[in-house]
A = this chain, B = another copy of it.
């Protein structure tokens, strides 16, 4: 058996996204001990950088040593005790996963469903809270990775807060790709992933807990069911300087990568990053529409970093994706859950959100789709794209 030598790909699926070479280089730096004074300084810098990208002053802001799914689980397992009522606003796969978390923890689930491909309607939350005034937590996904939809986190958090509820907000796909404003929203538990718009390797979950939520965790009647995700212990490990208590061994090299990714995000600035994601989305959209393809999500509810494209009639979607990968080393995503076979998911996340990737994706789709039953007009997509960039 030989060392694994991956073929370099352009990653334009729903994540992992292309990793910035600066981050790959960072991850290969020599491993130091997790109690080394240099590593403790790194942890402090990461916490500060995460506060900046989350737009929060929450002292309890840190990366969990496991992927975004563990960030979701940490939110639920820490805030919810058996018998607690939780409203989950579901508009895709990840809302469904939230509901599963509530049930496994013995919480009382109130599931409010929205059609896939649509944003959550704040009025629906108003009604659900009126019907369930004893709700403790409201949970929803800000940017649904399965549908490419952005919901109005500001409005949803405000309604939940007015009803005295805590909020859990999934920002796995939104962080750095569009605005995430933890303190502005007044959100209580917010988690993300490293492999989306941070353009870092997958494996860690940036996480933040409001002071109000931290107090709830500290005053639970029952212990947190998970030792590994118990924030009472995790926050001890990520505490300030000398007061740190051993919990687990941090994934040292992965954290080198996250530090570099956060540095890149802060160097660019959040508003410029959001604008870049918006602009490249506009260019991709112009090209795809010129090619005759259409978007699955209404325009005002779309995520610029994750484009759901309806698969044209008569096209074998799996074959197209396989050709893109085999011929051009380009990865785009398939539909997930009930959208399997119906959409492609084209990501323009973080480092992958660049004009050269938009150009590659449009040209490759044009080349491959031209071989299908429904050939498309050559050249129009790139011209449409140029009209956006030239503007």
CB of A65 within 8 A of chain B? yes
For this complex, into which size category does the number of interface residues on chain A fall? 35 or more
Q: Are B28 and A9 in contact (CB under 8 A)?
A: no
Contact of A263 among B1, B30, B31, B248 (CB under 8 A): B1
- Name, among A7, A68, A69, A247, the residue most crowded by chain B CB atoms within 10 Å (CB to CB): A69
- From A211-219, A250-258, A360-368, the one touching the partner chain is A250-258
A72 to B193, alpha carbons, bound, how many Å? 23
Cβ-neighbour of A202 out of B4, B34, B38, B224 (below 8 A): B34
* A358 proximal to B (CB < 8 A): no
Residue from A33, A36, A72, A103 having most chain B Cβ neighbours under 10 A: A33
Give the most central of A2, A248, A260, A336: most B CB within 10 Å.
A248
CA A70 to CA B224, docked complex, whole Å = 15
Residues in A46-69 with C-beta less than 8 Å from chain B: 49, 65-69
Asked whether, in the complex, the Cβ of B16 is within 8 Å of the Cβ of A31, the reply is yes
Whether, in the assembled complex, A42 has its beta carbon less than 8 Å from a beta carbon of chain B, the answer is: yes
Interface centre among A18, A105, A251, A331 (most CB of B within 10 A): A251
The minimal Cβ–Cβ distance linking A18 to chain B, given in whole angstroms, is: 7
The winner among A8, A195, A266 for most chain B CB atoms within 10 A is: A195
A202 contacts B250, CB within 8 Å? yes
Contacts of A227 in B (CB 8 A): 69, 72-73, 97, 100-101, 104
Residue A22, interface by CB 8 Å:
yes
Q: Name the residue in A11, A70, A72, A228 with the highest tally of chain B Cβ atoms < 10 Å from its Cβ.
A: A228
Min distance, Cβ A258 to any Cβ of chain B, angstroms: 10
Chain A positions 319 through 331: 1 when the CB is less than 8 Å from some CB of chain B, otherwise 0: 0000001000001
The residue of chain B having its C-beta at the shortest distance from the C-beta of A74 within the complex is: B228
Given contacts A6-B256, A66-B70, contact A30 B38 (CB under 8 A): no
Q: Can you give 9 A-B contacts (C-beta < 8 A)?
A: A4-B259, A6-B29, A15-B249, A72-B227, A101-B227, A105-B225, A201-B251, A201-B252, A202-B249
Interface residues of A (CB under 8 A from B): 1-9, 11, 13, 15-16, 18-19, 22, 24-39, 42, 45, 49, 65-70, 72-73, 77, 97, 100-101, 103-105, 193, 195, 201-203, 223-228, 246-254, 256-257, 259-260, 263, 266, 325, 331, 336
Q: Which 10 A-B pairs have the closest CB atoms?
A: A203-B251, A28-B28, A66-B66, A69-B248, A201-B253, A202-B249, A8-B30, A19-B31, A24-B28, A6-B32
